[in-house]
Structure 1
Amino acid sequence: MYKLKIQKTFAVFLFSISLFSVNASWAIDPKTAAVAMPDKYSAEVAAQILQQGGNAVDAAVASAFVLAVTYPEAGNLGGGGFMTLYAPTLQTYEADTLAVHFLDYREKAPLAATQDMYLDNNKQVIPYKSLVGYQASGVPGTVMGFWQAHQRFGSLSWQQLLQPAIKLAKQGFKVSPQIASRAKWFQEWIANKSPTPLNFKDYFSSLKTGKVFKQPELAQTLTRIANLGAKDFYQGQTAKLLVKQMQKHDGLITLEDLAKYQAVWREPVVGMWKGRTVVSAPPPSSGGIAIVQLLKMKEQLADKLNQALLQGKKAGLSEQTIKTHFYAELEKRVYADRAHYLGDSDFIDVPIKQLISDSYLATRIKTVLFDEISESETMKPGKIESPETTHFSIVDGHGNAVSNTYTLNMPFGSGVVIEGAGFLMNDEMDDFSTKPGVANVFGVVGGTANAIAPEKRMLSSMSPTIVLKDDEVEMVVGTPGGSTIITSVFQTIVNVVEEGMTAQQAVDAPRVHHQLLPKDQIAYNPELPGLVKEELEVMGYTLKKNDYMGDVQLILKTQSGWQAASDNRGEGVSKVFEVKD
């Protein structure tokens, strides 16, 4: 737990009294809750749980297990992720503090993992070995993560929260065109990439648009987890099924790996920006540090950016061209720092406070260019003195908020389904630096700080974020998207605060992305105006239209009330509704 000091006010005192009030009229007054979810099934279940009296964590638990059924390319039992939590009413309330929390349930490297396990005899990376098949998986953290969150903050019973997922696994759900298309693509993509035959087709070839898809083995697994808790997954029948299949195909995960796994409560990254408190993910995520760096550097350069916009207008350049180039300049510096400094803080000393300090960032912006491109080859980390994931956002009727991002890494993970248990395994080992200086599947280069080691958590870009204003939730935001997660969350926050957009406008707006390498390449989605593309190409950029750049789920508090928005790039559903105590 990280306690954020705030000023004692009469309003806070009244609020603390109201939490324990037995006034009958207060008890029946409806409150407002909001959810922004990646599919309609999780949205329905999250809303139901909140309307039944559950809190934000209850809704997160129920919807996460539903997504393991209805969103199998990313929702999961066999993966891991991060949860950022603002919970003023889910703990003993102290009038002079508000509590923010962060739960790291990221996967860990198995005990048998070695630094060079994906290299051949010539120390070259073996293609796809860290992405496909039985040696691509880290020890899963999802079940333990939601179990520990529920044990600390849940109010409804664990068994009750898993019932919707069990029902959907047994009775089936109607397959969307998007899931069917991704499953078909993945089946073809993995066909020739594993020397050991994979069983993905046996389980998921029947994902056809409009058809009802049932998962009886997964229903049995979910029932065991509902009855026995996390113990089943890490020490019980499910653990034995997982390890049996790993041993059969030279996988690395053992019963000892599973029994030793624990999620970790960490201090979130907390940064001040424009009178707001930005709360986000610490290492092993790079997201929180990067987002705070981007926001603060943008603020420090605000006057110079305004000058550049004015000069550009006189020269006939579009505002969007100048801002896109400016974002690229900032992002180069952030990704250089990411590659050098960031990894699992249980294994290396990550200088979080220095990396997000105003003084450090003031040195980073000195070389930002407004009229030309900084050289990627010379972009070094600053000197410090002594794509498949899914996200959901939830706010309950008392203002507690959950921002949760979890993943299998690639769509459908490693292509391995645990036989007899019915769930997919992750391929998160690719998020380590398989070889320092060599890019992973998302094109992100890593360094020795993120080298493979037993029980180490791999670096991530997942960035579940909560923005507080006047000591209350203003935004709950996050997205999938691999390395574009960081820049998507950053631009969404800026769209709201500086561009004055509504929640829906903020998540639907065009986004741009630059990550140091490939050199001078700006990715965009959905489209940029023709003139903007021409101007960026004249500056020296190459442009790439990404088919997919995130699926932002945003909840926003405005003067007129809550707004919830799901990105039009995905198939998400968002709702604002009344709940009663």
Structure 2
Amino acid sequence: MEPSHPAIHYQKLQISDSEEGEQDVTVTMHLPRPSARKIIHQKQKETCCRICAALLLLAIALSFLFFEILYGSLGQSQGQTEVLEDWNSTKEGQLESHLHGEEEEEGGGHVHEHGVYHHATVITESEICSSLGKDVLMAGGNVIDAGVSATLCLGIVHPHTAGIGGAFSAIFHNATSGITIALNAVPTLSLALKYGVPLTLQGLYLLHQYHGQLGWSELLEPIVQLARGGFRIDHILARALRENEERVKSSLLCSLFCYANGSLKDEGSLVVSPKLGDILHEAGSMMAEATLPEELVKYLIQDLPPQEGELLSDAISRSKVALENPLDFKLDGFTLYSAPPPAAGNIVGDILKELNSKKNVLPEQGLSDIYYQILNASQHAYIRSFRELIPWNASLETSGQLVSHQSFLQLKSAEVGSHLTTADSKGNILMISTSLNSSFGSYFLSPTTGILLSDFTRGMDSKLLFWSCPVLVKLNADDDDDDDDIVGVGAVGGSSVPLNIAQVIINRIYFEKSLKDATNGPFLHLVLGEDGVPWSPVSGVFNTSSLFESLSETEPEAGATSILLVQSHAEHVRAIGSPPQCCPSSGF
């Protein structure tokens, strides 16, 4: 039997001739040979190791890939936010950094954070109207053109706060000339009627005549199509309809906002206003000056009793609109512009004037002391705005004695309104605050024209209009900066609107907060006491307190202020709404 191990044979080599006769020696060595089973096992083991190593490397690679996908973009977004916050907190320097993310400028090669635009923007309380205003800008219109279209659009989709049967106050800054002008298209005649003089069309036409670029009829045509084609009720109008359901159902408004069975339409329902569309179409072709054409007036008054129709027709013919110089308050580092009374911008100016002397010590004070100073200044400003003869240092008790209860109650008029702003990167800004006075105004809808008339019937007796408070702030340029910053601030709410606007400016200028933080609050809210003295029970943040509940019951609109802010700086324009969901912006 052969050995199981292979043999290796060694043979002795002959080194010299002398070794020839010697015997050969052979050495045999036996080496172990592995079995076939062991060889296969070894190969399997090596293969498994290689596979495990490959899988491990693949898992590592995939983990890096998933991490980049899931967290890379988040990190990038957070980094962008930090860039914006750094810019916002800087008074001088550069505009919001060019970001990569949301709205891409057409053909621009880079993108920006939402609300920051290269050219121009429109911000309103309606997404439809903001987009329509943007379309006007992109068609070659300027900020006046976009403002005219957006205002008329609000009268279609938010008829409870705006419309050609209502009124508005506006302020416009022309960056080319450096001139700022104001316009109060507000009734000045007291009428023994339940409805007021419509002045919106006249005022918008005057603004367009002053600085519009596109044709008047061209601006009205998209509004005509919107009225005729209809729109979907948004959450803002749906809430207003619910809050005024009984009055809507019992008036001609039900022809627009009720179903065939008489039930109220809700959010998402279609509303069509063909009569109003027809009137706007005629206004586009018939208006040649800032007055209502006689034909339109005839259409309107034929729906009224003869005597009331004559009174309204006479009031319309005697009511004129005119451009005015704005109020201007020159303070350290900035100038504030606002429309003159009956707009309430003078309250904002007086608050800032009183606090301007304390601006160096305000940042060093505690929060409660700061709020006390703001509240104290606002109380004096509200009372002084009503009675200019009250001295600045008069006590609140003395001031209250000088203000009669009956006349002070008139300050509560016009607590429902809307606001819009159009602006471009060159520094042109138009701000418009509009209202029907009460929600849905007089509730009189003209069947022939589709015009909803306001209930502005007190004229100049209504004193200040708190809804009407658009202001512009021109920040003085530094020595190394050729351009001034232009900031526009407007708000919608009750009697707290002037105070809230003042607080935004205080936050931005005195406390150097970012634009976003400046509009976030918390804000003090004023209630107009029956003794004529304003008092503030609550900061807007603490909405669960009993004091806030008292505020809501006394004046619900005071606790629901929404703020719109725009800034033009360094060939960019930024638009902010607070709360963010209140005011969509659109631009390019």
For the criterion TM > 0.5, the same-fold answer is: yes
Q: Distance in 2 between matches of 1:411 and 1:500?
A: 37
Aligned pairs (5 A) from 1:357-372: 364=392, 366=393
Aligned pairs (5 A) from 1:120-159: 135-159=193-217
Secondary structure of the corresponding residue to residue 119 of structure 2 = strand
Q: Distance in 1 between matches of 2:495 and 2:306?
A: 34
Structure 2 equivalent of residue 553 of structure 1: 564
Structure 1 equivalent of residue 428 of structure 2: 400
Q: Distance in 1 between matches of 2:418 and 2:472?
A: 16
Cα deviation, 1:531-564, whole Å, max 9, x if unaligned, reads xx69xx8xxx996244643222110246794321
Q: Distance in 2 between matches of 1:176 and 1:78?
A: 21
Determine which structure has greater relative contact order: mean sequence separation of CA pairs < 8 Å that are 6+ residues apart, divided by chain length.
1
Structure 2 equivalent of residue 329 of structure 1: 376
Q: Distance in 2 between matches of 1:523 and 1:107?
A: 33
Note closer, same or farther for the CA distance 1:524–1:552 as it changes in structure 2 (3 Å cut): farther
Which of residues 528, 539, 543 in structure 1 aligns to 2:542? 528
Structure 1 equivalent of residue 512 of structure 2: 500
Cα deviation, 1:322-366, whole Å, max 9, x if unaligned, reads 33333321122112122224xxxxxxxxxxxxx9xxxx9xx62x4
Structure 1 equivalent of residue 437 of structure 2: 409
Q: Does 1:339 align with 2:353?
A: no
Aligned pairs (5 A) from 1:238-387: 238-248=296-306, 250=308, 253-285=311-343, 287-302=344-359, 305=362, 309-310=365-366, 319=367, 321-341=368-388, 364=392, 366=393, 374-375=396-397, 378=400, 380=402, 387=415
Q: Does 1:488 align with 2:500?
A: yes
Which of residues 119, 135, 144 in structure 2 aligns to 1:48? 135
The aligned amino acid for 2:573 is W
Q: Does 1:74 align with 2:129?
A: no
Secondary structure of the corresponding residue to residue 196 of structure 2 = coil
Q: Distance in 2 between matches of 1:73 and 1:525?
A: 28
Between structure 1 and structure 2, the one with the greater Rg is 2
How far 1:473 moved relative to its partner?
A: 4.4
Q: Which range is displaced more, 140-149 or 246-255?
A: 246-255
How far 1:467 moved relative to its partner?
A: 1.0
Secondary structure of the corresponding residue to residue 226 of structure 1 = helix
Which of residues 115, 122, 126 in structure 2 aligns to 1:39? 126
Note closer, same or farther for the CA distance 1:523–1:251 as it changes in structure 2 (3 Å cut): farther
How far 1:243 moved relative to its partner?
A: 1.8
Note closer, same or farther for the CA distance 1:263–1:529 as it changes in structure 2 (3 Å cut): closer
Which of residues 137, 147, 152 in structure 2 aligns to 1:65? 152
Q: Distance in 1 between matches of 2:489 and 2:330?
A: 17
Q: Distance in 2 between matches of 1:300 and 1:157?
A: 47
The aligned amino acid for 2:143 is A
Contact 1:335 1:516 in 2 (8 A): no
Structure 2 equivalent of residue 21 of structure 1: none
How far 1:254 moved relative to its partner?
A: 2.9
Structure 2 equivalent of residue 544 of structure 1: 551
Q: Does 1:160 align with 2:218?
A: yes
The aligned amino acid for 1:51 is M
Contact 1:57 1:150 in 2 (8 A): yes
Structure 2 equivalent of residue 565 of structure 1: 576
Q: Distance in 2 between matches of 1:267 and 1:81?
A: 16
Secondary structure of the corresponding residue to residue 317 of structure 2 = helix
Aligned residue-pair number: 444
How far 1:379 moved relative to its partner?
A: 6.3
Give me the CA root mean square deviation: 3.1
Note closer, same or farther for the CA distance 1:529–1:412 as it changes in structure 2 (3 Å cut): closer
The aligned amino acid for 1:254 is L
Q: Distance in 2 between matches of 1:520 and 1:288?
A: 17
Q: Distance in 1 between matches of 2:245 and 2:298?
A: 27
TM-score by length of 1: 0.69
Aligned pairs (5 A) from 1:395-474: 395-429=423-457, 433=461, 450=463, 461-469=467-475, 470=477, 472-474=484-486
How far 1:514 moved relative to its partner?
A: 2.2
Secondary structure of the corresponding residue to residue 324 of structure 1 = helix
Structure 2 equivalent of residue 104 of structure 1: 184
Which of residues 152, 173, 181 in structure 1 aligns to 2:239? 181
TM-score by length of 2: 0.68
The aligned amino acid for 2:138 is Q
Q: Tell me the percent identity.
A: 20
Q: Which runs of 5+ in 1 are unaligned?
A: 1-29, 118-134, 192-196, 311-318, 342-354, 369-373, 382-386, 434-445, 451-457
The aligned amino acid for 1:289 is N
Displacement over 6 Å in runs of 4+: 230-233
Q: Does 1:219 align with 2:277?
A: yes
The aligned amino acid for 1:84 is I
How far 1:79 moved relative to its partner?
A: 0.8
Contact 1:551 1:569 in 2 (8 A): no
Q: Which runs of 5+ in 2 are unaligned?
A: 1-116, 260-264, 404-414, 478-482
How far 1:217 moved relative to its partner?
A: 0.9
Structure 2 equivalent of residue 348 of structure 1: none
